[in-house]
Structure formats: structure tokens, C-alpha cells
Amino acid sequence: MLSTPGLVLHTSPYSESSVVVKVFTRQLGLRSYIIKGVRGPRGRVKQNLLQPLSSLDMVVYDNDKTDLNYVKELSARFPSTEANPVANSLRFFMTELLYKALRESEPMPALYDYVENASSHLSTHAAHLPISFLLTVAHHLGIEPLDNYSAREPYFCLEEGRFVAAPNETSLSPNLSAVLHEYLSGIQSFTCPVSLSLQSRRDLIDALISYYHLHLSGFSRFHSHEILHTILK
């Protein structure tokens, strides 16, 4: 039994009163837990604790002989998160990316700290955060784009994961490639490095999601960015 902070990524029903929660923990990485007493009118655990990207302090059982352990205690790490359409859309976007990109493996405390920090900037840097988040998660997963941008290699190729000299079927335009280069130069900054039009921002988000499909095995269809395109106008 050990203590760890964790971020809620996905919840599904389990028996009459319990749920199975997929949690990105700081100490153990991605884990699945049964939490009792959640469902039903007499549930002892409030369901708002298990909203997407909720940050929890947890005491959990960790048995390496099973993929499904139990939570002994849990509580909110911080006060209730802000609730507005922009913050909620970003929260769903970040949660979906982590849920579909992470695998149950070794701990990734640096990524955990980044995500928890990013979740506190949902309103102040809303337009910039999706691109920065996509690139930073890719960096921690070891699939980050190579920033070899130059006047001789001005096209970013999604399939090769690097800038190339001549355009091809999966390369970005010179303007969008240059924007990507600027983002890669300050990958974990919460300040937008360039002035970006609405359409360019949408195009780059879509391109980076395609990049995940090309470079991350089992990365399934992504949906929440479509809501972001509507909200972040």
C-alpha cells in the first residue's frame, strides 16, 4: 500500500456501486483501480472527484500480480477546478490525449508534473495550450518531432518526423512548418511563440494529431479537438 497523487483519465461502471478508474499516477505511471461506494444515492465517494483530469491524493494497493487494484483512500488535491466551456473543452482534450497515448508502464513523474501544471493554465493560455500540450507529451513519449528546420529543409514531414528539403504527401506548408519550428524551440513554455491565425492553429492541431496516428502504435480515433475548434474561436 502506498500514497501517490493521480490524475483521472477515464471512469467506467463496475458492479452496482463501484467504478473502475484509469489514473495517471505520479509514483506508478498509468494504473487501473476499483473505487467502491461511488454509484447510487448512498455513495460515500462524490462523483465530482472523478471528473476528467481531476487531481487526487490517493492511498492505493499495488499488487504487481494483477492489472486491477483497489483504492483505500482518496481526496481532492486542490479546490474545485474552474468550470467554463473553454476550460472544460481543454480538460477533455488533454484527458483524451493522455488516455489514448499512455500505456501502463514505468512512472513518468516529469510528464505528470507538466500535466498538473498545464491544467492550471486552462484559461490564461487557452489558444496556445493544445499545440504545446501535443508537442510536450510527444517529447515525453519519445516521439517528438526533430527540430532540424533550416532554409534548405523548410518542410516538416509528418511521416518522417523531421524537416525535409522537398514537399511530399505528408509534409506541411512552409508557413505551418515555420510555426511548428517556433513551437519546438520553446516546447514547454506556456507563452505562444508566434502570432497564429485561427485557421493555422486548427491546421497545426489536426496535423499533430495525424502525427500521433503515424508514430504511436494503437493510437485510436481522436474526437475532442473538433470541439476545441468550435470553442476556441
pLDDT in tens, 12-42: 998 888 899 999 999 999 999 999 888 766 6
Query: CATH classification of 85-231, choosing from 1.20.1090.10, 1.10.8.50, 3.40.50.2300, 1.20.1440.120?
Result: 1.20.1440.120
**Domain ranges for the chain:** 2-76, 85-231
pLDDT tens, position by position, 106-132: 899 999 999 999 887 787 777 788 999
Percent of the chain surpassing pLDDT 90:
57
Residue 44: pLDDT band by 50, 70, 90 thresholds? confident
Nearest to 18 by CA among 8, 30, 33: 33
The mean per-residue pLDDT over the stretch 128-155 comes to 94
Could you tell me the pTM of the whole model? 0.90
Residue with cell 525535409: 164
* Cell numbers at 115, concatenated: 500535466
Q: How many CB atoms lie within 10 A of CB 171?
A: 20
| Range scoring the smallest mean pLDDT among 120-124, 154-158, 220-224 | 120-124
Q: Does 227 have pLDDT greater than 80?
A: no
- Report the alpha-carbon distance of residue 215 to residue 198 in Å, rounded: 26
pLDDT tens, position by position, 196-211: 788 888 999 999 999 9
Q: Decide yes or no: CATH 2.40.50.140 for domain 2-76.
A: yes
Supply the pLDDT for residue 17. Answer: 83
